[in-house]
Amino acid sequence: VCCAASSAWSKASTRAHRWVGRGYERRNLRLPLTIEDALERMENSKTIEKYLGKKFIIGYVAVKRAEHENFKRVISSWEREFLLFAV
């Protein structure tokens, strides 16, 4: 048991050294602010395409866009209370 734990610890500690660096070096990278922007970036990402495949991305983006369109059609309780009756 001790040998197995020692071996696992050794592998984990060498693996951890690969992730040493500065997390804030690439400040020009920003997360998208809207779901539309996020889906567009996903659609155009060669890195994501490499790992997930073009077919998956096409399907996923189509489903998420449809979900977002349905979401935008719903009138929220806040909108009903503050906007609908104010007109």
Note the pLDDT tens digit of each residue in 23-55: 667 667 789 999 999 999 999 999 999 999 999
pTM: 0.60
pLDDT at 27: 66
User: How far apart are alpha carbons 43 and 47 in whole angstroms?
Assistant: 10
pLDDT at 6: 58
- The answer to whether the beta carbons of residues 42 and 65 sit under 8 Å apart is no
User: How far apart are alpha carbons 22 and 46 in whole angstroms?
Assistant: 24
Give the count of beta carbons closer than 10 Å to the beta carbon of residue 60: 15
Statement: residue 19 has pLDDT above 70:
no
